[in-house]
Amino acid sequence: MRAPWLALCLGLVGSLLSGCEAQQEPPSRFRSAYHLGDYEANLGYSQSIKIGKTIYISMTLPVDKEGKLIAPDDMAGQLAAVYTNLGTTLKINGADFEHVAIERIYTTDMPGFLKYADQRLKIYSGESAPAASFIEVKHLADPGFLVGIEVVAELP
């Protein structure tokens, strides 16, 4: 014979469980890739991956659609090319620079980069400036690259 309180508890638990709907799996996060040029696919990476509302952009380099270096030995020219390529990638993914949450800048010449860093101020205004890291490295994928930038952007 069950104690009355146990029967009451079992009855409550049973009624609670019968009212619950089966929990559904969250929808899978659709992943889409974008290539700035064919060379990226040939090297085994995407310029960007969009998952849900987050856009992960690979290190963007000062290259044209064929992957050829733009503005050799010219930090200002390479920065302009990188920001142009970033803008294209963001636009393709339905975003712009205001959506950038973090920016990581890699350069082989920090003093040279800092000389032209004000180009960033043309891209980001004070309140919409992303979190940022400035990193000097020994070299990038090609000896001619002076700067490369990767970003993560979040759509509203």
Q: Indicate the pTM of the whole model.
A: 0.78
Half-sphere exposure of residue 111: CA atoms within 13 angstroms, side-chain side: 0
* Domains of the chain by start residue, with CATH: 31-154 (3.30.1330.40)
Confidence at 17, pLDDT banded by 50, 70, 90: very low
The DSSP secondary-structure symbol of 98 reads G
What are the angstrom distances between the C-alpha of 77 and each of 6, 73, 81, 143? 78, 9, 6, 16
Identify the pLDDT of residue 8. Answer: 44
Question: What integer pLDDT is reported at residue 37 of this predicted model?
Answer: 76
